[in-house]
Amino acid sequence: MARQRKIPFGYEIRGGLIQPHPQEADAVRYIFGQYLAGASLLAIAEDMTRQGIRYHQHTAEWNKNMVKRILENAKYTGADGYPRLVSNGDFTAAQGQRAERNTYAPLPVEIRPIQAKTVCGLCGGKLTRGARSHGRVHWKCQNPDCGQSTSLGDEVLAQLVTGRLRELAQAPHLITAPEPQRGGLDMDTVRLQNELTLAFNRGDENPGYIKTLALAAAAQRYNQLPDPTPAHDLEQIRARLEYGPADTEVLAALLAVAVRAVRLAPDKTVELELVNGKIITEKEESA
């Protein structure tokens, strides 16, 4: 049975002296070895749980904080009179990796509009940006059925997206609004129209009430009309492109108005999905 923890994991009191615990000492060495080989804290914790080696008496589950405490405990190097379980070199290397892995790359301003539209090139799920793995930026799909991850630096992503936007600027005929949706009236509009018709047919309704119904029905119909603003904004961009090459401001407007999604695939291919459904891909460079 696992004992109550009174001394660090990896040791036991035997014959009145602190001695390496055979199984736990091997686990400590294994943890350092796995971490130095590149395994994450969470992966190591899950591995220890599978092996059935208890860190605490009252739980068989490991977590990354338990692994972190072991990696940071200098007693394993022989400090404070404890028997040595790991070399000074391995302990120092583990601390160096801890510092390196915790390096955080802040989000550049120019990446923010790209981040807002970046989706998985495989499933279309939302991608989130992470930057705590050796300071490298990676994008992970939040769709649990996909979960694809792509390591791609901010500068490279910005260059790829800018390249696609320049291709789009050179083909202004592709900068069009989506076809308007011509669906039927919604239930609220139908209800208001029916109520107004009944009021007219009864002939004894208060004129103020009929006026209120008529205005409400008209407003409801107006709200269902297609919004002309996107088409107008796209036309303005096309007009600007006729006067010269696309500058940074025009490219930013293209991203904001003409692009529905930036699709990033695991092979680092970047595509632009336009609001009209067309796709701008790398293949067009060789077309």
Task: Find the helix packing angle between 248-257 and 154-169, rounded to 10°.
Answer: 90
pLDDT by residue for the chain (287 residues), tens only, comes to 344 447 899 999 998 899 999 999 999 999 999 999 888 899 999 999 999 989 987 888 999 999 999 999 999 999 999 999 999 999 999 998 887 776 666 778 889 999 999 999 999 999 988 875 555 788 989 888 898 889 888 889 999 999 999 999 999 889 988 766 655 667 877 887 888 788 778 777 788 887 887 887 777 776 766 666 778 888 899 888 888 778 889 999 999 999 999 999 999 999 999 999 999 986 433 33
- One domain, residues 202 and 96: no
Task: Find the helix packing angle between 248-257 and 229-241, rounded to 10°.
Answer: 150
- One domain, residues 245 and 161: yes
Which CATH number goes with the domain that contains 19? 3.90.1750.20
Nearest to 272 by CA among 164, 169, 167: 164
Q: How far apart are CA 71 and CA 75, in angstroms?
A: 10
| Percent helix, percent strand, percent coil in the chain, to nearest 5 | 50, 15, 35
Residue 6 lies in a domain: no
Read off the tokens for 103: 């390096």
Residue 68 lies in a domain: yes
Cβ partners under 8 Å of residue 287, min gap 6: none
Domain boundary among 101, 118, 139: 101
Domain with 269, as residue range(s), is 109-179+228-285
- One domain, residues 281 and 236: yes
- One domain, residues 154 and 173: yes
Read off the tokens for 172: 């202004």
278: Cα within 13 Å, side-chain hemisphere: 16
Q: Which residue has the tokens 């490219």?
A: 251
Per-residue confidence (pLDDT) for residue 1, from 0 to 100: 39
Cα 198 to its chain centre, rounded Å, is 53
Per-residue confidence (pLDDT) for residue 286, from 0 to 100: 34
What total of structural domains would you count in the chain? Answer: 3
DSSP for 67-84, written as a single string: HHHHHH-GGGGTGGGPPP
Q: Taking a C-beta distance cutoff of 8 angstroms, is the pair 193, 217 a contact? A: yes
- One domain, residues 147 and 218: no
Q: How far apart are CA 82 and CA 71, in angstroms?
A: 15
Q: How far apart are CA 246 and CA 202, in angstroms?
A: 62
Cβ partners under 8 Å of residue 114, min gap 6: 157, 158, 161, 255, 262
